A and B are shown apart, each in its own frame.
Chain A
Amino acid sequence: MSTTAQHKVVDSRGSFCPGPITDLFKAYRNSQLGDIIELLATDPAAKADVTAWAQKSGNELMDMIEEQGYLRIIVKITKKRS
């Protein structure tokens, strides 16, 4: 089994709550510690939802970038039950 960290882009643009956070959870379910998930979202609620999830779960919110018309949210998986 590979232990190399993966970088996955999850494109939830055009999807509204709970679409982006649900898409993030799907990627989280398939991730390993150290993986990076980059969530692209047009739903403004994604900002607060992902921030709250990262704080509660102990995963690392690395960056949140306002792109032209969408958010780019970068999360590092640092907490996951193994």
Chain B
Amino acid sequence: MQRVVVIGSGDGGTFTANLLALELRDEIRGGLASVQLIGEHLKHPFQPGNLDVAFKGASPDKYVKDETDLLRKEVEFIQDPAVRIDLQGRSVTTKSGRTLDYNFLVIATGAVADPSKVPGLSDGALNFHTGAVDSQRIWESIKSFQGGTIVVAIAGTPHKCPPSPNEAAFMLDEYFHKRGIREKVNIKFLTPYPRPYPAEKISRVVEPLFKERGIDVSTFFNVDAVDPAAKKIYSLEGEVVQYDMLIAIPPHHGADVIINSGIGDEDGYVPTDRGTMRVEGQEGVYAIGDATNIPVSKSGVVAHLQSVVVAHNIVSEINKTAEFLEYNGRINCPMEVGSHRAIFVSATYTSPPTDQTPSVVKYLMKRSFAMIYWRALNGSLERIFDGFFGQTRFPLQIENKEVKSVVGAEAAAGKAGQGR
């Protein structure tokens, strides 16, 4: 019996569990394998929808479904959050005290946006990274805003959805234009990076648009603290900016279960091989998405593409085929720039983002993804995605890599010699 446990029922965890269930359905029906998904919430949100909730007044209900409706029937969903991962003992303990043993583990525990990490941020700033309820607070606030300075600040890196701070500024501009009071609203954008978007070629698109729309930018602004009473935000470098409304992207860290289990780096992210997605130094243990320490975008697309690699590699280990895949670092982050136009921030580990021109087609593609997201989670759209994303993975060159497998070590060694 091969037991696969997936921790985390977000985009990556849900999709990985479904892919594994699809690939292992015969083994699961025959009692030879199981796929258990451990999650905290029954409700599964489409997180990019928070931007629409915050800046367009969309209803959060539009962007949420029951997790059980998204899972293949072969997946056992356990709504009982993981509180401890024992990599040596190969088990996971849940909040209720249940212990799940595993042969294979997938860590998809995500990243946590935590305003408490910056003094004054919790009380002084609104944000759309901690969920739909907080996103709605932004909508309520901007609806009644009559004029003054709105500051959009990146208060910590890395954070989920790298284009989202820029999108927030663009969407504020658009919203106040529609209300006819744009000239009464000063929009300021504070970023720790050297330019409005960290990747230079993307910044070449964003910077002139910000200028054209009167969005002021302060670069190299590493947020140190917020004084909610004085409505001031301070940088480590010594700058201070006055605001009437502050919308900040909070610092992020890894999930509590990673930190409390002592298996993360200093920020709680899991040290992971950027190709195979294996947790460093562990056999049969993988991590995906926002939970890893890999320096790529923390986004749903990345988690999705990594899920394909991980599910394939686990099935290869179970079937002893020794045909492993490596993720190539492909990212694809849509950025809405207003006026019904968008760009895609696309790159791999070896190819930086390329020049972009905002287009209506990309905007429509971004918008349509919100509708197909739910179907994408069950794996039925993979052919379309493969066509769209192009190459996102490649066969592992096992003559250069040490391949250790819980059940497939002999098969791997037979094909790869002695590995690395």
Task: Check B237–A29 contact: CB distance below 8 A.
Answer: no
| B145 in contact (CB, < 8 A) | no
Q: How long is the Cα–Cα vector from A28 to B237 in the complex, in angstroms? A: 10
Task: Check B238–A29 contact: CB distance below 8 A.
Answer: no
Q: How long is the Cα–Cα vector from A49 to B235 in the complex, in angstroms? A: 18
B2 to A: closest C-beta gap in Å: 35
Q: How long is the Cα–Cα vector from A2 to B352 in the complex, in angstroms? A: 42
| A57 in contact (CB, < 8 A) | yes
| A7 in contact (CB, < 8 A) | no
Contact with A52, one of B192, B200, B220 (Cβ below 8 angstroms): B220
Task: Check A80–B200 contact: CB distance below 8 A.
Answer: no
B183 to A: closest C-beta gap in Å: 30
Chain A 54-82 near chain B by CB (<8 Å), digits 1 or 0:
00111000000000000000000001110
The number of residues on chain A lying at the interface, defined by a beta carbon within 8 Å of a beta carbon of chain B, is 21
Task: Check B237–A52 contact: CB distance below 8 A.
Answer: no
| B219 in contact (CB, < 8 A) | yes
A49 cross-chain contacts in B, Cβ below 8 A: 194
Task: Check A81–B192 contact: CB distance below 8 A.
Answer: no
| A34 in contact (CB, < 8 A) | no
Of all chain A residues, which has the CB nearest B219? Answer: A56
| A40 in contact (CB, < 8 A) | no
Interface class of chain B by DSSP: loop
Of all chain A residues, which has the CB nearest B224? Answer: A81
A25 cross-chain contacts in B, Cβ below 8 A: 157, 192, 222, 236
Q: How long is the Cα–Cα vector from A57 to B198 in the complex, in angstroms? A: 18
Known pairs A17-B198, A53-B194; A81 contacts B237 (CB<8 A): yes
Task: Check A19–B237 contact: CB distance below 8 A.
Answer: no
Q: For window 10-50 of chain A, which residues contact chain B by CB distance below 8 Å?
A: 15-19, 21-22, 25, 28-29, 45, 48-49
Q: How long is the Cα–Cα vector from A14 to B237 in the complex, in angstroms? A: 27
Contact with B238, one of A16, A28, A45, A58 (Cβ below 8 angstroms): A58
| B361 in contact (CB, < 8 A) | no
B219 to A: closest C-beta gap in Å: 7
| B199 in contact (CB, < 8 A) | yes
B123 to A: closest C-beta gap in Å: 19
Q: How long is the Cα–Cα vector from A47 to B194 in the complex, in angstroms? A: 12
B219 cross-chain contacts in A, Cβ below 8 A: 56
| B193 in contact (CB, < 8 A) | yes
A28 cross-chain contacts in B, Cβ below 8 A: 222, 236
Q: How long is the Cα–Cα vector from A18 to B197 in the complex, in angstroms? A: 10
Task: Check A22–B157 contact: CB distance below 8 A.
Answer: yes
Chain B 182-219 near chain A by CB (<8 Å), digits 1 or 0:
00000000001110001110000000000000000001
Across the A-B interface, the 4 shortest Cβ-Cβ residue pairs:
A18-B198, A57-B237, A49-B194, A56-B220
| Additional A-B contacts beyond A56-B237, A57-B238 (8; CB < 8 A) | A16-B352, A18-B157, A19-B295, A25-B157, A25-B222, A56-B219, A80-B237, A81-B236
Interchain residue pairs with CB less than 8 A apart (12): A17-B352, A18-B157, A18-B194, A21-B193, A22-B192, A49-B194, A52-B194, A56-B220, A58-B238, A79-B238, A80-B237, A81-B225
